[in-house]
């Protein structure tokens, strides 16, 4: 594109994308999208702390063999210092100019290693740090303060960084997650990984989240379905995801006599195809960053019912692209789901509005362009692209970065 050509550097930039692993997850998926979409003026290298995960095959197909810097145990163990030293040596050897650390463990290693190697460093803060211990939170705050730039993916995270961690606002840029819509649409129209239950045309709500962290609050969805059942509303649920809490949530479904209504699908690599067969989507977490599950639901034209936490209100405007309810309130969740089911025409409008928002604000092209410009601003010492200093997101401004 002409605008990109005008702004493209005269040489290739040596960039390292550093992520904990390539297991299924929102952060990991976004890193894969960056590896796939960043322009050719980057010489990309990849590093991980855990060389595993089903997304690793895609990374290999893209031509990257990640370097591993294994993180064992707690931050205080001697291995942390050893991995910092190893990373610094590797960064010097490959002459890296910039390293982007996408999560907690990689930030702790990347920031001091980059300083030792003479490279610039960007730290991603993509959640509200709600599951960290006080020591971990202090270590992450230290690493974030040492970064040349910080990326948050939601306004709520930016506010937390400024108000609670005292990160200078001019160092923070909000870059929302992005989605490769043509690829998503192909997957949505594609075959299922495994058959789904035959529900006889009953409405289906889909909840996509891991079953490892209590903040995902699958319990509230089950309670809401039980309330709807007592009202005579027929509704089934597909719960996509897995984790240590699965047996506990399954036991609650049995206790609420919902075993015939709630279907645990486990890990699925065909989420778009499942969404294509759903009526609406729900995310009822008590804490969130900017949820890829919500973005994918919107991309699938599903009306979404979400809790008013984290980045959810950045995505769903109540009554426009879905409904927003307070967390920990199954009754409010049930009421919002009932409103969707009671008015199919309005539900279609909500879904269409969500898809239009994704097409306008959350495309892969925008994700890549926003990162590209920030990377180059950091390497340039901030003299160019002064708009990066505003700390406001493109979504909040209603325009591209």
On the question of pLDDT at 139 being above 70, the answer is yes
For 204-230, the pLDDT digits (tens) are 999 999 999 999 999 999 999 999 999
pLDDT bin (cut points 50, 70, 90) of residue 382 is low
Give residue 158's pLDDT. 94
Q: In terms of CATH architecture, what is 182-361?
A: 3-Layer(aba) Sandwich (3.40)
* CATH superfamily entry for domain 2-178+363-397: Glycogen Phosphorylase B; (3.40.50.2000)
pLDDT bin (cut points 50, 70, 90) of residue 397 is very low
For the packed helices 344-361 and 292-299, what is the interaxial angle rounded to 10 degrees?
A: 110
Task: Identify the weakest region by mean pLDDT among 239-253, 281-295, 378-392.
Answer: 378-392
Closest CA to 391 of 374, 376, 372, 379: 374
Domain boundaries, the chain: 2-178+363-397, 182-361
- Decide whether 2-178+363-397 matches 182-361 in CATH topology: yes
Give the C-alpha distances (Å, rounded to integers) separating 117 from 70, 82, 89, 144. 19, 14, 7, 18
On the question of pLDDT at 260 being above 90, the answer is yes
Whole-number Å distance between alpha carbons of 319 and 315: 12
Which residues on adjacent β-strands are paired with residue 172? Answer: 150
Percent of the chain with pLDDT over 90: 82
Percent of the chain with pLDDT over 70: 92
């Amino acid at each position: 594109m002409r605008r990109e050509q005008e702004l493209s550097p005269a040489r290739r930039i040596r960039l390292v994308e550093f992520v904990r692993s390539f297991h299924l997850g929102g952060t990991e998926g976004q890193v894969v999208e960056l590896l796939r979409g960043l322009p050719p003026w980057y010489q990309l290298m990849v590093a991980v702390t855990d060389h595993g995960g089903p997304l690793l095959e895609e990374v290999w197909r893209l031509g990257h063999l990640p370097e591993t810097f294994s993180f064992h145990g707690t931050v205080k163990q001697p291995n942390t210092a050893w991995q910092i030293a190893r990373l610094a040596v590797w960064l010097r050897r490959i002459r890296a100019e910039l390293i982007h650390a996408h999560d907690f463990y990689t930030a702790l290693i990347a920031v001091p290693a980059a300083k030792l190697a003479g490279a610039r460093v960007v730290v991603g803060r993509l959640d509200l740090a709600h599951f960290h211990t006080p020591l971990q939170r202090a270590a992450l705050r230290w690493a974030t303060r040492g970064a040349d730039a910080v990326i948050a993916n939601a306004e709520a995270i930016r506010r937390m960084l400024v108000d609670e961690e005292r990160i200078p606002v001019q160092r923070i840029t909000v870059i929302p997650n992005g989605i490769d819509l043509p690829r998503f649409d192909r997957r949505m129209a594609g075959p299922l990984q495994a058959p789904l239950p035959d529900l006889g045309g009953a409405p289906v709500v889909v909840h996509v989240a891991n079953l490892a962290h209590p903040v995902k609050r699958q319990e509230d969805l089950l309670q809401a379905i039980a309330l709807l059942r007592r009202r005579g509303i027929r509704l089934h649920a597909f719960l996509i995801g897995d984790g240590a809490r699965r047996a506990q949530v399954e036991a609650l479904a049995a206790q609420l006599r919902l075993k015939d209504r709630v279907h645990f699908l486990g890990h699925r690599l065909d989420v778009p195809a499942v969404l294509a067969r759903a009526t609406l989507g729900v995310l009822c977490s008590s804490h969130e960053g900017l949820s890829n599950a919500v973005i994918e639901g919107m991309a699938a034209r599903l009306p979404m019912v979400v809790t008013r936490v984290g980045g959810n209100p950045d995505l769903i405007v109540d009554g426009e692209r879905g409904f927003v309810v307070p967390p920990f309130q199954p009754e409010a969740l049930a009421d919002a789901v009932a409103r969707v089911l009671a008015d199919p025409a309005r539900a279609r409008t909500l879904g269409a509005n969500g898809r239009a928002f994704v097409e306008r604000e959350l495309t892969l092209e925008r994700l890549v362009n926003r990162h590209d410009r920030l990377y180059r601003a950091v390497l340039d010492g901030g003299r160019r692209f002064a708009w990066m200093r505003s700390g406001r997101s493109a979504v909040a401004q209603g325009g591209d970065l």
